[in-house]
Amino acid sequence: MTLILSLATLLGALTVGAISPGPSFLLVARTSIAGSRREGLAAALGMGVGGVIFAILVMLGLKALLTNLSWLYAILKTAGALYLIYLAICLWRGASQPMADTNEESLAVENTRGAFFRALLTQLSNPKTLVVYGSIFAALLPPDLPRGVTITLPALVFAIEAGWYAIVALALSTATPRRTYLRCKTSLDRLAGGVMGLLGIKLLLSSVPTR
């Protein structure tokens, strides 16, 4: 019963973390509105895979490695920040461009694949999330975790991450949000790019060591 309670609390904490606004939510929302439902769900899948990677890394003990090697942690945060800033620049520069025609199947497949990998990289761009995962796991899971739980935990993490962002994708890929986006594409893309850039700059500044 104690293990079940610990797992329930852990999954609840991870759910709150997934729902919290951030670059991942921003990317899935923009992909779903500006692209298609298919692209939005591909992005949700990318977020889920990213969550699984974090869970596995934590169980392999890499959270402790990052905590002890502050220089490696700083490098990873800097790389993640630069990726977010790159996405922001792409959004800002493409704000005034018309939407591409995604009716052709080959282009739709390419866009879906791109949505998946952009989401995956965005999910993995912030190593602070790995530390958060590690802290939650360490606080709520017993050290002698049963093998069955070890195997199923990444699947539960995937269900939380991918499930939440799939809800976001399904909700925002409907007709009304898309019509609103098309009317205000330039402003909305620049707003999204500005927010993404600020998040990247915040992460970049946090990677600078303080004396």
Domain extents in the chain: 39-206
Q: Is the pTM of this model over 0.85?
A: no
| Residue 193 pLDDT greater than 80, yes or no | yes
CA dist 164 and 47 (Å) reads: 9
| Beta carbons of 31 and 15 less than 8 angstroms apart | no
From 102, 89, 83, select the one nearest 34 (Cα to Cα): 102
| 56 burial via Cβ count (<10 Å: 0-12, 13-18, 19+) | middle
What pLDDT digit, counting tens, does each position of 139-161 carry?
Answer: 777 767 777 778 888 999 999 99
| Beta carbons of 169 and 115 less than 8 angstroms apart | no
| Residue 61 pLDDT greater than 90, yes or no | no
What pLDDT digit, counting tens, does each position of 7-50 carry?
Answer: 888 888 888 888 887 888 889 988 998 888 899 999 999 999 99
From 70, 66, 48, select the one nearest 57 (Cα to Cα): 66
Residues in the chain: 211
CA dist 21 and 159 (Å) reads: 18
3-state secondary structure of 105: helix
- Residue percentage of the chain with pLDDT more than 70: 87
**39 or 183, greater pLDDT:** 39
Residue 174 one-letter amino acid: T
CA dist 4 and 141 (Å) reads: 10
